[in-house]
């Protein structure tokens, strides 16, 4: 089978960030399929151009047996008009790509709907099955973030969303309960398939901690945005700066500069704020930690569940987790992988961290032990690719 995936923000491991479609493609290639991924080479969180173009706006690159088609799009920072223009750049160029070999099926991933529209137009042009992958629910996500439902941009996205749902032969959702939302558009439930984010567990097997410091190390890895409740973590770090507890925050995002300024103002010598690292380095960094932190604001954004790449990485590392969230279908709770508390509560977070800190290594071990078995049976790339392959085989 020849599969083409349109994902504006698709990345390879050395770029740092989520690698969902790279991971799926690598597994599909190992099973004899051909996969091409159409992506922009402008990094969505570091705001850097990752490739060098000459005269063309396209680059073709073979990586680990798959083809990446990189599209040059205009640079931007933040979430303003230039970001929308970057999305439209991608859409216009992606829907006009000519493929050397005709695909058998096309997938459009809705990091935003314009990418899905480009995928649909290609499927229409080539008379191919079209699969819509719903990552963020647009425009409902923007409405939940506070943008008026009556804003012209939101109304336009609403029409596009309904149009694409109707045109899709199958719909993949990353969120476990998003089918309840999608069904209101008169979409048959059997045409909606939940395929979560996941993790390649082979990267974690056999790893041992290389931590040589005596202090108790707490790690957060991922985006540094409003949703990630990092101010609460920093406040706890301030309270605990006289204890043998260290904190490291690794990643990029709109709040990184603000967090760095808070660290310096409060002279938090027990905190390090580090840059994004390549995906290949993630397993060992997590394994070197004594405790992993993850927080999510209590928001209607998460009423359909979550599918966080870092959460599955955390679980595969078999290190205890403190998860500050109110989400349903909580994998940390299901796997008994740590402590689950309400978000944005400094007292509760401090209590949870101190509780883990005071435990012996033997007492903490059950919170991580066996997590990788839970992942293998529910969220491994191999398990999830089985679901994707079955869906695609039913269309071609």
CATH of the domain at 230: 3.40.50.2000
Tell me the backbone φ, ψ of residue 268, rounded to 5 degrees.
-85, 85
Q: Are 5 and 38 in contact (CB under 8 A)?
A: yes
Number of domains forming the structure of the chain? 2
Mean pLDDT value of segment 115-141: 93
- Domain coverage including residue 252: 201-377
Q: Are residues 44 and 131 in the same domain?
A: yes
Q: Quick one: 122 and 156 in the same domain?
A: yes
* Nearest in space to 2 (alpha carbons), one of 126, 117, 120: 126
Q: Are residues 47 and 154 in the same domain?
A: yes
pTM of the entire structure?
A: 0.89
- Sign (positive or negative) of CA dihedral 244, 285, 294, 375: negative
In sequence order, the 6+-apart residues with CB closer than 8 A to the CB of 346 are 232, 235, 236, 239
The mean per-residue pLDDT over the stretch 62-75 comes to: 95
Q: Are residues 351 and 300 in the same domain?
A: yes
150-154, 180-184, 361-365, range with the lowest pLDDT: 150-154
Whether residue 192 is found in the same domain as residue 208: no
Residue 329 has pLDDT above 80, yes or no: no
Q: Are residues 177 and 60 in the same domain?
A: yes
Q: Is the pLDDT of residue 148 over 90?
A: no
Q: pLDDT tens digits, residue range 91-113?
A: 999 999 999 889 999 999 998 99
- Nearby residues of 363 by Cβ (< 8 Å), 6 or more positions away: none
Which has more pLDDT, 5 or 300? 5
Check whether residue 248 and residue 159 sit in a common domain. no
Q: Are residues 183 and 227 in the same domain?
A: no
Please report the pLDDT score of residue 15 as a whole number: 86
Residues 221, 148 within the same domain: no
Q: In this structure, are 173 and 271 located in the same domain?
A: no
Same-domain check for residues 27 and 158: yes
The reply to whether 263 and 165 lie within a common domain is no
- Res. 14 pLDDT band, cuts 50 70 90: confident
Query: What distance in Å separates the CA atoms of residue 75 and residue 53, rounded to the nearest whole number?
Result: 14
């Amino acid at each position: 089978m020849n599969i083409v995936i349109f994902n504006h923000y698709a990345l390879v491991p050395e770029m740092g960030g989520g690698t969902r479609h790279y991971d799926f493609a690598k597994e599909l290639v190992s099973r004899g399929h051909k996969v091409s991924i159409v992506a922009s080479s402008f990094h969505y969180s570091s705001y850097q151009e990752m490739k060098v173009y000459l005269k063309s706006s396209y680059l073709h690159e073979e990586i680990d047996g798959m083809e990446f088609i990189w599209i040059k799009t205009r640079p931007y920072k933040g979430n303003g008009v230039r970001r929308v223009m970057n999305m439209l750049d991608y859409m216009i160029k992606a829907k006009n790509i000519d493929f050397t070999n005709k695909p058998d099926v096309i997938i459009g991933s809705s990091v935003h709907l314009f990418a899905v529209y480009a995928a649909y137009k290609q499927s229409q042009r080539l008379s191919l099955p079209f699969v819509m992958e719903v990552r963020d629910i647009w425009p409902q996500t923007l409405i939940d973030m506070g943008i008026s439902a009556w804003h012209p941009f939101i109304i336009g996205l609403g029409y596009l969303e309904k149009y694409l749902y109707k045109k899709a032969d199958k719909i993949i959702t990353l969120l476990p309960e998003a089918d309840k939302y999608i069904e209101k558009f008169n979409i048959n439930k059997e045409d909606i398939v939940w395929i979560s984010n996941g993790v390649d567990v082979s990267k974690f097997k056999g790893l041992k901690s290389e931590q040589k410091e005596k202090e108790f190390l707490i790690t957060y890895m991922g985006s540094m945005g409003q949703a990630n409740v990092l101010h609460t973590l920093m406040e706890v770090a301030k309270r605990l700066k006289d204890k043998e507890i260290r904190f490291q925050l690794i990643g990029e995002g709109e709040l990184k500069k603000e967090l760095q300024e808070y660290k310096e103002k409060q002279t938090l010598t027990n905190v390090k704020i580090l840059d994004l690292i390549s995906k290949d380095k993630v397993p060992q960094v997590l394994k070197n930690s004594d405790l992993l932190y993850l927080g999510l604001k209590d928001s209607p954004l998460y009423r359909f569940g979550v599918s966080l790449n870092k959460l599955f990485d955390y679980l595969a590392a078999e290190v205890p987790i403190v998860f500050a969230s109110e989400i349903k279908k909580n994998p940390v709770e299901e796997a008994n992988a740590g402590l689950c508390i309400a978000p944005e509560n400094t007292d509760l977070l401090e209590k949870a961290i101190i509780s883990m800190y005071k435990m012996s290594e033997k007492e903490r071990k059950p919170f991580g032990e066996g997590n990788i078995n839970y992942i293998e049976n529910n969220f491994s790339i191999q398990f999830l690719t089985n679901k994707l392959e079955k869906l695609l085989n039913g269309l071609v």
